[in-house]
Amino acid sequence: MSDISGTPPTSGGLASPFVALLPITGAAISVFDQGRRASLIHATDATAARLEEMQFDLGEGPSFDAFTTASLVSVPELTATEQWPAFLRSTADLAVGAVFTFPLMLGAACTGTVTCYRSTPGGLDEQAAEIGASLCRAVAGPAFRRAILLAENESADDEAPIESRREIHQATGMVLGQLDISATDAFSRIRAYAFSSGYTVQEIAHAVVSRRLNFAELPE
């Protein structure tokens, strides 16, 4: 998966609802791979994109913490924190007063983050935090699928052996039944779990078919 660089890409404005519904100035959505490298899926403005770029250039920042802990990282006053010293030095010239980074959860797997910023200091109340988490659940699938397309390194299903394709389809049907979701979402869950755990889609599918893995039993 490619690292963040250059002009912020767009993906149907996936980050825009965060700005519309939360008391923030801008937002950016990134999806991680197993090596903690990221693809920037969508940023609402240049400052949001720059915040992400800085973090992945430096290897530190709230996105890494949110991804590792799978929980919201809230910094109501950026200049008051002593975390991430290199990141803080790099953001000194940006009009950023507060940062809130949500984990991007696809089922039980954390596949990325949504970093929101405010130009002035100030926190998020409980209702805003819940809205942010709800928005993350809504965009997790589309963001992950966009990241897969950007990676440009997956094998086409038609190139896989027919036995492998059959097992993946069988596993998709089983996950569909386990979670009562659509086939598209079931396949996305399998891919997300493989993506976050370091296994291949084929290995996860085999575990599902052999009943060693039940997605309904995974922690939410």
Last residue of a domain, one of 151, 178, 201: 151
Distance CA 124, CA 81 (A): 16
If asked whether residues 182 and 87 sit together in one domain, one would say: no
Question: In 10 A of CB 158, how many CB atoms?
Answer: 7
**What's the CATH code of the domain at 165?**
1.10.10.10
Q: Which domain holds residue 79?
A: 16-151
If asked whether residues 144 and 125 sit together in one domain, one would say: yes
If asked whether residues 196 and 97 sit together in one domain, one would say: no
* pLDDT, tens digit (0-9, with 9 covering 90-100), for 2-59: 333 333 333 448 999 999 999 999 999 998 876 667 778 888 998 998 898 888 878 8
Length of the chain (residues): 220
Q: How many domains does the chain have?
A: 2
What is the pTM assigned to this prediction? Answer: 0.67
With beta carbons less than 8 A apart as the criterion, state whether 78 and 99 touch.
Answer: yes
